[in-house]
Amino acid sequence: MQSDLFERPRLAGLVQAEAVVTADEERSLIASIDAVGLSPFHFHGWFGKRLTASFGWNYDFDTGRIGPSEPIPAWLLPLRAKAAQFAGLRAKDLAQALLIRYDVGAGIGWHRDRQVLEHVVGISLGAPATMRFRRRRTAGFDRATADLPARSIYHLSGEARYQWEHSIAEMALPRWSITFRSLAVGPTLQPGAAVNSL
Evaluate whether residue 197 is within a structural domain. Answer: no
Evaluate whether residue 108 is within a structural domain. Answer: yes
Evaluate whether residue 137 is within a structural domain. Answer: yes
Evaluate whether residue 70 is within a structural domain. Answer: yes
Evaluate whether residue 194 is within a structural domain. Answer: no
Q: What is the pLDDT of residue 40?
A: 83
Evaluate whether residue 160 is within a structural domain. Answer: yes
Enter the pTM of the model. Answer: 0.84
Q: Give the CATH number for residue 119.
A: 2.60.120.590
User: What is the number of other CB atoms lying within 10 angstroms of the CB of residue 26?
Assistant: 19
Which band of pLDDT confidence, cut at 50, 70 and 90, is reported for residue 128?
very high
Tell me how many domains the chain contains.
Answer: 1
Q: What is the pLDDT of residue 63?
A: 65
Q: Which amino acid is located at 99 in the chain?
A: L
Is pLDDT larger for residue 99 or for residue 193?
A: 99
Evaluate whether residue 1 is within a structural domain. Answer: no
DSSP states of 121-182: EEEEEES-EEEEEEEEETTEEEEEEEEE-TT-EEEE-HHHHHT-EEEEPPPSS-EEEEEEEE
Nearest in space to 133 (alpha carbons), one of 13, 1, 3, 2: 13
Q: Is the pLDDT reported for residue 187 higher than 50?
A: no
Strand, coil or helix: 34: helix
Q: Is the pLDDT reported for residue 24 higher than 90?
A: yes
Q: Is the pLDDT reported for residue 158 higher than 50?
A: yes
Evaluate whether residue 64 is within a structural domain. Answer: yes
Q: Is the pLDDT reported for residue 5 higher than 90?
A: no
Q: What is the pLDDT of residue 58?
A: 81
User: What is the number of other CB atoms lying within 10 angstroms of the CB of residue 193?
Assistant: 14
Which band of pLDDT confidence, cut at 50, 70 and 90, is reported for residue 38?
very high
Average pLDDT along the chain: 85
> Which residues constitute the domain of residue 28?
14-185
Span 134-154, average pLDDT: 93
Span 8-36, average pLDDT: 91
